[in-house]
Structure 1
Amino acid sequence: MSKIQEIWTDRVEYSKQRFVEKDKDELEPGQILVEIDKFALTANNVSYALSGEAIGYWGYFPTHEGTWGNVPVWGMATVSEVNGSSIKVGERLYGFFPMSSHLIMSPGKISEKHFMDETEHRRPLPPLYNQYMRTEAEPAFMQKLENERCLYFPLFITGYVIADFLMDQSWMQAEQIIISSISSKTGYSCANFIKSMGFEGNLVGITSPRNHEFVTQLGTADQVISYGEEDRLNKVSSVYVDMSGDGNTRREIHSHFADLLKSSQVVGATHWESERTGKGLDGPKPEFFFAPSQIAKRNQEWGPGVLLQKGSGASADLAAKLADQVSIEFHQGAQNVMQIWADLLANKVSGQKGLIVNL
């Protein structure tokens, strides 16, 4: 293998993409080469692009060429070449990868279950995204969930961490929690976990008319409304979990509740093209939810990895429940990947679909 294939995305105009072939560098001592054979594409990846500069997602797989970047994805890979590492050829890995056919990695802090990629430019970045699971050390049932793991687990675990954060804050003393873009995987998983963690108030989901029936069938929300119907909501103390990033919806929520809004948490950006300003809003200032902060807090309180272990178990259970409600589709080739990216940007991908791809 002499060429690595990649899809680059413009860091300013996300609709611009290009297919790139580049020469593979020789492995340095301790490095490995992995072949990325599947990864998921979801609205979460759009959020990575949108917050790429602010949070640093563009820094994981830099292109070093103008405004071009490589959007991170969650996927599976097989080790294809090793130069002096204890990692073995043929091992299966799960973790954070570029939209690429291959990746050169520098494993460190190696244990039976996982290792960290200690490539120099990644060392200052949040460790959550630098850890790779060695799946052969995992239970057989987990090894069989490769597609679900790529597709659901990063989103479901984010939903789990949001729910844990709100529970940790005693639900902000709110009587109602509102989740926009509840048809997204992060959205409906968050709603599910909020309920399972004991929230007894009213849980509201906001979605588009075409996803209304799907969300209702999921049964995770007590009340489902469409965008533009925010004035129907009960004026009680509330928390807003913003998965859509839609500035108009955010403004309507803040205007409707004003000081009754206890917290406004910005998580995603499924409606990435809309106005996203937080200026001039009634009520509390919107806060960007950063999952690694809550994970770090729980690591201190509960021990390293306990929160993520709980989230993984809950995610596996939820994925099993959704087997008959969400269909997983497989697509191959750069052109198909770029078309799916365009559909995600246009918000054309139904919550009832899960898309697994490779180059």
Structure 2
Amino acid sequence: MAEFQTHKNDITKTRLADVGNQVDDFILADGEILVKVERFSFTANNVTYGAVGEQIGYWQFFPPHLTDGDDADWGIVPVWGFAEIVASNNPDMKIGERSYGYFPMANYLKMLPVRVSDDRFVDGAPHRAELPAVYNSYDRLGTGQSQNDNLRALLNPLYGTSYCLCDALQEENYRDAEQVVILSASSKTAIGLAFGLSQIDGARPAIIGLTSPGNVGFVEKTGSYDMIIGYDDLSPLPNKPSVLVDMSGNRAVLGAVHGALGDNMYWCHNVGLTHWDDSETKNAPAAAQLIGARSAMFFAPGHIARRAEEWGAMDFNQKVAAFLADGMAHADTWLDVHETHGLQAFEPIYSRVVIGDLRAEEGIIIAL
């Protein structure tokens, strides 16, 4: 078995670790199962997991296998994908059954299913007990693959956040803003958010996307924004009451937008880190214009937990499923899925995603 490990202090640094190559290499305790990871997606969202892994706990989900003398700062970036049970010591879980959820970039994973129902289970591994519940829940899929597996791996986690943002914006009545300004508008989560907002019946704010000049044409083709503006010239941005959703983490660009809007920057939801390495932008003069008093991180798992409690998990899941179905149908018109086989072949692709050298319409799937 191989594990794709990333250095916690420098996510551009990776290695493949050999930690067992067949089912018989793993010993299962009572109640445990062993799954073989089939395929997973890798997006800027996963880069965020690595970039803020210590603050939010993403490194804790899948502790790496380390040998004596190893640097303890190696970790595993979590990914979303599919796996199949290849060994089971749990009477409720049968060999051959597939699941969708949060997995390591590795060939195998031991799990401890608890709270097993017909359609889902929770990994009850003790080290995951205090981590956000949304990441510990897995969908049971029976046997056999679906033609939508790649789209689901790519878009479920991203469009889940898109749905939460749409819901939050509507709940707060858009902070009484006249426009929603989305930074890093070419990111998949941003496109999902813009598409969701564009489908709202009745009055809504204008949807404005900010993106790099090279991505303006692509973002226009998605058909989800009312206006697209390049980062290189913000002068077309209407100076109207605005709520911002920032997927980029680029403090220079965000500060320039805050400065351009001034008192009309009503609120900023900080969501992602497509520009995760801000060592240069944080010291840019424009970054000094950031209005921290009207900004906060948006943590989708917290929103999910609250809505599941308020509405009930079933009602919440149905709303998200409907949003995802519409979003995936729309994504089929612009998303270009590329499938790569094996963790070794994934290494150069990982590097491209981490440094942002990926076409906006490109979706990466790794099949194992």
Give distance in 2, aligned partners of 1:297 and 1:67: 33
The Cα of 1:258 is off from its aligned counterpart by 2.1
Among residues 310, 320, 323, which one is paired with 2:319 in the alignment? 310
Cα pair 1:40 1:75 within 8 Å, conserved: yes
Question: What are the Cα deviations for residues 260-308 of structure 1, in whole angstroms up to 9, with x where unaligned?
Answer: 1111111111111223588762363421110122112212321124223
Which stretch of structure 1 is more off in the superposition, 80-89 or 293-302?
A: 293-302
Match of 1:18 in 2: 15
Counterpart in the other structure of 2:336: 327
Q: Given the alignment of the two structures, is residue 126 of structure 1 paired with residue 123 of structure 2, yes or no? A: no
Distance 1:279 1:307 in 2: 39
Please state if 1:109 is matched with 2:115.
yes
- Report the secondary structure of 1:230's partner residue: coil
Q: Which amino acid aligns with 1:332?
A: H
CA deviation string 1:52-102 (max 9, x = no partner): 111111111122651111000000101000013310000011000011111
| Partner SS for 2:10 | coil
- Whole-Å separation in 2 of the counterparts to 1:55 and 1:32: 27
Q: Within 5 A, what are the aligned runs for 1:265-284?
A: 265-274=269-278, 275=281, 281-282=290-291, 284=293
| Equivalent residues of 1:31, 1:85 under 8 A apart | no
State the shift of 1:39 in Å: 0.3
Tell me what 1:72 maps to.
78
Residue 256 of structure 1: aligned partner: 260
Q: What residue identity is the alignment partner of 2:90?
A: G
- Please show how residues 64-213 of structure 1 align to structure 2 within 5 Å: 66-136=72-142, 143-198=146-201, 200-213=204-217
Aligned to 2:295: 286
Structure 2 match to 1:235: 239
Whole-angstrom CA distance in 2 between matches of 1:307 and 1:51 = 27
**Equivalent position amino acid for 2:228 in 1:** V
1:350 aligns with 2:359: yes
Write out per-residue CA displacement over residues 99-127 of structure 1, whole angstroms, 9 at most, x where no aligned residue: 11110000000000000000010011111
CA contact (8 A) 2:59 2:75 kept: yes
SS in 1 for 2:86: strand
1:27 is the counterpart of 2:31: no
Between 125-134 and 248-257, report the one with greater CA deviation: 248-257
Q: Over aligned residues, Cα RMSD in angstroms?
A: 1.9
Question: Residues 166, 276 of structure 1: CA spacing in aligned structure 2 closer, same or farther, 3 A cutoff?
Answer: farther
Aligned counterpart, 2:37? 36
Bigger drift between 185-194 and 16-25 goes to 16-25
The unaligned stretches of length 5 or more in structure 2 are none
Distance 1:338 1:184 in 2: 22
For structure 1, the 5+ residue unaligned runs are none
Letter in 2 for 1:62: P
Task: Give the counterpart letter for 2:229 in structure 1.
Answer: I
Question: Is this contact kept in 2: 1:209–1:226, CA < 8 A?
Answer: yes
For the structure 1 residues 136 and 219, does the alpha-carbon distance in structure 2 shift closer, same or farther, using more than 3 Å as the test? same
Give, in whole Å, the separation in 2 of the partners of 1:284 and 1:196: 31
Q: Which amino acid aligns with 1:120?
A: P
Matched with 1:5 is: 2
- What is the identity, as a one-letter code, of the residue corresponding to 1:38? R
CA distance in 2, matches of 1:338, 1:102: 18
Q: State the Cα deviation string for residues 147-192 of structure 1 (Å, max 9, x = none).
A: 1110111111111111101111111111111111111110100111
SS at match of 1:14: strand
Aligned to 2:58: 57
In 2: Cα distance, 1:333 partner to 1:271 partner = 27
1:136 and 1:143 in contact (8 A); partners too = no
Cα distance between partner residues in 1 of 2:167 and 2:353: 28
In the superposition, the TM-score normalised over structure 1's length comes to 0.93
Identity %: 35
Give the one of 226, 233, 238 matched to 2:230.
226
Q: Match of 1:17, SS?
A: strand
Structure 2 length-normalised TM: 0.91
2-structure distance, mates of 1:164, 1:191: 12
